[in-house]
Amino acid sequence: MNEQRPTRRENHRANRRGWQDLNDRQRVMIIGAGALDLGLRLAGLIDIIRRPAAEVRGPKPLWIVALSVVSSAGLLPATYFALGRRRAPRRRAS
């Protein structure tokens, strides 16, 4: 009767689900979300590299590092596209 109860860590490990425990729909959703996030990050990085510094709000190197390193599920690239870019000044036709 000296039975020990499992610790919190042991309970957590027992309740964790692995990739093999997911159904096909869940796997497709995870892969799709990852692909979307990767696409947005790449688009943001390409835009930052091509855009002059005067048209980027904040330091370009900071945006590049943030988009490269921070895991944001697509929120950081969306923030860059919405708030981090300045509009190019319009050129007047002569």
Location of structure tokens 């943001």: 44
- Of residues 27 and 8, more confidently modeled: 27
Question: Domains of the chain: which residue ranges?
Answer: 23-84
Going by pLDDT thresholds of 50, 70 and 90, the confidence category of residue 2 is low
Q: Give exposure, 51-83, as e/b (b: 16+ Cβ within 10 Å).
A: beeebbeeeeeebeebbeeeeeeeebbeebeee
pLDDT in tens, 26-35: 999 999 988 9
Does residue 3 register a pLDDT over 60? yes
Q: What is the pLDDT of residue 69?
A: 82
- At 59-78, the pLDDT tens digits run 999 988 888 887 777 778 88
**35: Cα separation from own chain's centroid:** 10
Q: For residue 50, is pLDDT > 90?
A: yes
